[in-house]
Amino acid sequence: MKFQHNHPQSFLLLLLVRLRQDRDHHECDQPGGYTLVITLAVLLILSVLLLTYAITSKVDNASTNASAKGNTGFYAAEAGLNLRAKAIYDRFIGYNRPEGKSPAHWKDCLDPAGDKGTLDFRCQTNTDISTQPVTTYIEDETGSVPKTVVIPAGENNEGLTAQEYRYNVISIAQDSHSKPSAIVGLKFKSRLIPLFQFAAFSDQDMDINLPPVMTLSGPVHSNNDLYINASGTLRIKGQLTTANKLYRGLKYKNECSGDVKVDDATPAPRNVACAGGRTEFKAIAPWNGKIRVGVQKLTPPPPGDFDANPGRLYWDSADLRLVLDLTNPTAPALQIRSAGDSILSSETTDLLNSNACAPSQTLTTSATTNTLTVTPGTAGSFAPNDVLTVGTDPHLYFVQSVSGDVITIKGSLNPNFSIVAAGTVVRKPIVSFSDKTFKNYREKRGSLGPDKFLPIQMLNVDMRGLLGCAKNLMGKPLNEDSEGGLVWFFTVKGPDSEAINDYGIRVYNGQDLVTPIGSETPKGLSIISDQAVYMRGDYNCKAACTAPAFESTANTGQRIPAAVMADSINVLSTAWPLDDLTSINLEDRKPIETTINAAFLAGIDITGGVNRGGQDLDDGTGGGLNNYPRFHEYWEGINFNYLGSLVSLSAARRVNGPFCGSGGLDKKGILMTNGTDESCNIYYPPTRNWSYDTRFNNAANLPPLTPRVVSLKQELFSRNFDQAVMPPFAPWAMLSLQRLFSVLGTLIQSHS
């Protein structure tokens, strides 16, 4: 009977007993057999030891290789997570919400017959991440409606309202056998933060440069470096954050001045003290999270989104597109265009010729260089300083005087007026063209002398007048709310539309946006332009247009959610004449108190020209945040009241000459005695009654099509290395210790 050895230890004991018996019985007569058995046993034991070592080494190598593959798989799968989360992020940046259907399980992604899901959530395999292919998919935990949250205290962007979307990303790395070597998961939130919930936001360096008195009552954020300084007192009541460094002092030279206070978590104003010249400010602990540096960079929409071309977000989304066409310099034209950029002839005719859009009209019977003889009895339709157009000429004219049936006009550089034919219709327009009558003293384009300026070719828009006839032009009601209200795009299309140019948009008569037209009032109104915008007079304040009434919460019914988004924004008081007959002398350009209630998004002058590169220059200031709106008048002691949000994405791309100075100072900081120094002559600063519009904290009160930044926040990361299914080592399975000892027992039996 053969032994069945179930354990190597019992086999060795039996082997020694058998050898002892053999020696006792055959010690004299069979020495060779005993020696043979001993030799054979030793050889087999050595073989067992060698084979055991080989098996152990193989198992160790396999384990090491499996661990290496697992680590490689983990890093590959982690990279897959990042790529897929970035894809979701990009969808939000493009103003699209991710959509589709997820697979039921990760195994479906690896199963050729499995349900792979659809659209943004489907299974996707990437072979470019590492040596192992990586398959990823998305699970949407948001539901049909995103959660509106107030970002908690202690986090970046605390206190802001955001739309929050929740997702899981699952990533599977696969080994050479197409089995999962690592599975990782990531839970994250995608938060959409409206840009107009910041008192001030800049995608560039932000510098606050010597305002005498200024208060910012909302959050302030720079996506680069942030410089804070004052000549008087600057107070920031909201959270102050920067993606890079915070400096106390000026950007363009090594100086620090003024009284700067930032509220801490109490809240209480705490002084950010100077320490000699400009210094990096790092001692932020006392502010309990109200000052943060090195925070996550927020990604706003690119400036190209505001271009006047099909396929661009704001052009495509507009309810009305109003164009001054200068492509033919001898025949300027006013047009309404479609999203595809074709002229809408019927709407254009209504805009220029209908009684709804240009209600006062009369017929001329004769014309000379500057007079019109109108149909008897109709001259009473006009009064001095009325604006008018003549026939199909879009140029803006002005009534100088009325006498009997004769109207004397002024204020146009159009040389063809004298050939106006009898029977031409004269109208009070709501859109018109000023051909180089506006003198922009800020834009000297390298010229010297106080008489130097850039003449602007200007599209003029009467805002209240346009509201009165926009319903027919848009083909939709004024209380349209698909984007939160109305979106109007104004632009100039000419040879230099997409380059440095002398074009501009002037909006006026916009004080009252809230009184119903018929029975309809806009829910909100956003004006968009890819060109410079000049805002003339009060805007969106109705009767509450003087300080301090404009800030009163009791007067919220005097305004609607409004925004102006443009290449740059210029502010003119109501005192600026529409005929642009202004004095060369700064002191003669006297404004009156002016109020604007609207969020601003515009380009700026970046101090030094580039981020973090404009320090310690003799002449490199862009004027700072306090010069974000561009002024052109002598505002000394006069209020400019502003309620809104100041957002900048880039330098101005169209009208952006160098900023030479303000406040009666030339570009070297020398006081001008008459306001007409040879190197400047732009403006004297106003009394800045500026506040953040806290109604924007409620998303329902934001202007239409408010741009958003996207912030991703990770909640949970998980990893699993135990998913690998390793193939067995078939040849080695036959060489287990139990198998070898069984063979050895058989050999010994055969020699017994």
Per residue in 236-276, pLDDT (tens digit) is 999 999 999 999 999 988 999 999 999 998 888 999 999 88
The lowest-confidence range among 69-73, 184-188, 296-300, 340-344 is 69-73
Confidence of residue 304 (pLDDT cuts 50, 70, 90): very high
Place of tokens 């260089």: 369
User: Of residues 498 and 722, which shows the higher confidence score?
Assistant: 498
User: Which residues on adjacent β-strands are paired with residue 689?
Assistant: 641
Mean pLDDT across 173-198: 89
Q: pLDDT digits over 56-65, tens only?
A: 555 445 444 5
Q: What pLDDT is stored for residue 89 in this prediction?
A: 80
Between the CA of residue 144 and those of 104, 141, 164, 169, 712, what are the distances in Å?
19, 9, 12, 19, 20
Kindly report, as residue ranges, where domains of CATH 2.40.30 are found in the chain.
Answer: 359-427
The DSSP secondary-structure symbol of 502 reads S
Q: Which of 550, 702, 579 has its CA nearest to residue 195?
A: 702
Q: Which of 294, 197, 276 has its CA nearest to residue 238?
A: 197
- Say whether domain 359-427 belongs to CATH 2.40.30: yes
Mean pLDDT across 547-575: 90
Between the CA of residue 338 and those of 606, 618, 620, what are the distances in Å?
35, 48, 42
Q: Is the CB of residue 112 less than 8 Å from the CB of residue 178? A: no
pLDDT beyond 70 at 742:
no
DSSP-based three-state secondary structure for 360: coil
At 462, phi and psi to the nearest 5? -85, 105
The lowest-confidence range among 90-94, 108-112, 559-563 is 90-94
Q: Which of 219-233, 405-419, 543-557, 735-749 has the highest mean pLDDT?
A: 219-233
pLDDT beyond 50 at 713:
yes
Q: Is the CB of residue 47 less than 8 Å from the CB of residue 54? A: no
pLDDT above 90: percentage of residues in the chain: 51
Q: Is the CB of residue 101 less than 8 Å from the CB of residue 121? A: yes
pLDDT above 70: percentage of residues in the chain: 81
Phi-psi region of 206 (alpha: psi -120 to 50; beta: other; left: phi over 0): beta
CB contact set of 402 (below 8 Å; sequence gap of 6+) = 379, 380, 382, 383, 384, 408
Cis before 112? omega within 30: no
Q: Which of 320, 311, 354 has its CA nearest to residue 476?
A: 320
Q: Which of 193, 130, 182, 129 has its CA nearest to residue 159?
A: 193
* Burial of 726 (C-beta count, 10 Å sphere; 0-12/13-18/19+): middle
Cα–Cα dist 539/521, whole Å: 16
Angle at 608 between CA 605 and CA 610, to 5 degrees: 80
| Strands 562-565 and 599-601, sheet pairing | parallel
Q: pTM for the whole thing? A: 0.79
The DSSP secondary-structure symbol of 418 reads G
Amino acid at site 85: A
pLDDT beyond 70 at 689:
yes
Mean pLDDT of the chain: 84
